[in-house]
Amino acid sequence: MSVISEVKQRVDIRELVSEYATLEKAGRNLKGLCPFHTEKHPSFFVFPEQQTWHCFGACGSGGDVFSFVMRKEGVDFGQALRLLAQRAGISLGPYEKVDKAAEDAKERLFQINEAAAEYYHHVLVNARAGEAARSYLAGRKLTPETIKEFRLGFGPDAWDTVKNYLLGRGYEERAILEVGLIIEREDGGSYDRFRNRLVFPICDAKGRITGFGARALDDSLPKYVNSPQTQVFDKSGSLYGIDKARSAIRKQNRAIVVEGYTDVLTASQHGWKNVVGSMGTSLTDKQVDAIKELTGNITLALDADLAGEEATLRGKAILAHSNTEAEVILLPPGKDPDELIREDVALWQKLAEQAMPIMDFAFQSVISRIDIKKARDKSLAVQKLLPSIRELRDPVQKAHYLHKLSRELRIDEAAIRAALMERRSVTTGSRPGKPAEQVRPAREAGSSRIEEHCLALLLQYPELRSSAGELSLEHFECTENREIFAGWQGSSNISDLESELDASLREHLLRLVGKVFLPGIGESEVIRRADLEYCILRLMERLSRRLEANKEAILEAEREKGGISSELIKLEEQGIGSGQQLQEVFAKKGRKEWMQSKKRT
């Protein structure tokens, strides 16, 4: 989760605005005198469910927590972010513009990894020191072509060969340490991290080497070693082979996730190019997000011995995402994908075709191990399966599996739903020292996805600028997206935009610029323009719905007072009511006229 998203989640707009204005209940919303201009009658509304605000009076402005602080305190986005982060107890780094020197330093880390990969690969392929590793790979039936394609390497059994090689290439020891290729000694000095190990370069989706994984070829422990967390490497967000598999995943609209490095290598060698590795960890939200950029269909290859537990635990990151289909390839006991494919590729093909939905398999695995005649076993099954059901975003799927659990265990569905609600109240309960009503769930990210998709198109394909004439700042509800769109309007290229944006927005910009689209977008301008037109239509429809919802909020508030203005009645009857019309109603009508219209109605 980005800092911007975390701030939005933790800062409640009701609490924030209440420090600047007196608010009163208005139906499901709140209203008060606008804090941005002088007025006698309330025209300022806060919408807690959407975490937004809007003034229907002279201001005519609105937005989220960021835009409120920016306007009230007279600060830019970066300063607003710092103020709100401080309020939420979120630590930020020093506030400073990201200069070219900082970017050059990060690029230097990629270059060091690239140079190290070249060295490790040379040792594996050409040096006597790599002979044992070559023999090991031959035993795994990995071809020279696969070894070259994935740039496998070997770290010599010595303390400082890699360090000395990189120093000889002109890289500073501090930078080599920073990228994780060497380890600092407690008494001073340093030594190579990957010694006497087979080395697997790990790349991001763009093919840049971010870090390394390494396997011991003897009895050394630990068996596997990874690069530490660095500026460019994050194991929880990395997928081994994603740079090679990206095209195939988009083309086949399916990603198969395995655990090990050699699982990916063997699968790729046998034609399964859409396979990536989670590197032995449970599938994380970050990894699912990376796959979601390419496909909504994820298949996990699980060992049968552990598949039941793994399907419920590893599937949580997938189940928490809407519009994501998850399946399980059930492997024979004791077999991993590497071994199975080498021994019987036809069986692997068959099992992949027979993959079943992850929730169905979790049910099968858990319920097959209990005695449904025993209340204790039923309770255990509910405890294991209910958390995964709770993660489902789709209400239809959630209802389906609640009914399935009731039927399989022969338990009243109402009892299971009660257990679900009880668990939800525990997991979303108030934090110590904080009233329960102040704790709110994270806002649904869907509202910003269409904005980000639209911006990514505009940023990555300059030829689409001429098709975006109908877009305005009002179409972007999220302040960070609105700021980037405003900057894009006044810039001629990404470099200019990057230099003009506040440093706090730079990470968000780079994520948009690096967004990977589904097949077709990058290959056809016709498809790109059609996609943009669809985005613009969606944004316009959303704005219209937002204005309509605002109008309904005003109507609800007026009904609670026992009367409705004639102007609002007309708007309601005609089924219209733009933001501008509502502004005019509030700005031009004094309380006396309101009361007169109230009597007339």
Determine the Cα–Cα distance for residues 590 and 601; give it in Å rounded to an integer. Answer: 17
DSSP 143-212: -HHHHHHTT-EEE-SSSSHHHHHHHHTT--HHHHHHTTSEEE-TTS-EEESS-SEEEEEEE-TTS-EEEE
Q: Which residues of the chain have pLDDT under 50?
A: 95-99, 425-446, 562-601
Residues 6+ apart with CB under 8 A from 425: none
- As a three-state string, the secondary structure of 492-540 is CCHHHHHHHCCHHHHHHHHHHHCCCCCCCCCCCHHHHHHHHHHHHHHHH
- Domain with 75 in it: what CATH number? 3.90.580.10
Q: Is 601 part of a structural domain of the chain?
A: no
Counted domains in the chain: 5
- The 10 Å CB-count burial string (b at 16+, else e) for 87-110 is bbeeeeeeeeebeeeeeeeeeebb
- How confident is the model over 144-203, as pLDDT tens digits? 999 999 999 999 999 999 999 999 999 999 999 999 999 999 888 899 999 999 999 999
Residue 327 CB contacts under 8 Å (≥ 6 apart), including other chains: 297, 298, 299, 300, 355, 356, 357, 358
What pLDDT does residue 113 have? 97
156, 252: one domain: no
Give the model's pLDDT for residue 6: 83
CATH of the domain at 134: 3.90.980.10
Please tell me the predicted confidence (pLDDT) of residue 584.
46
Give me the amino acid identity at 573.
E
Is 204 within a domain?
yes
The C-alpha angle 282, 288, 291, rounded to 5 degrees, equals: 125
Q: Which domain holds residue 170?
A: 105-233
Do 342 and 254 lie in one domain? The reply is yes
Residue 595 lies in a domain: no
Do 551 and 563 reside in the same domain of the chain?
Answer: yes
pTM over 0.75: no
Q: Return the pLDDT at 561.
A: 56
pLDDT per residue as tens digits for the range 228-267: 999 899 998 899 999 999 999 989 999 999 989 999 999 9
Q: List beta partners, residue 54.
A: 45, 62
- 82 and 55 in a single domain? The answer is yes
- CA dist list (Å): 538 to 169, 463, 531, 582: 53, 21, 11, 23
Residues 110 and 226 in one domain: yes
Residue 120 within any structural domain of the chain: yes
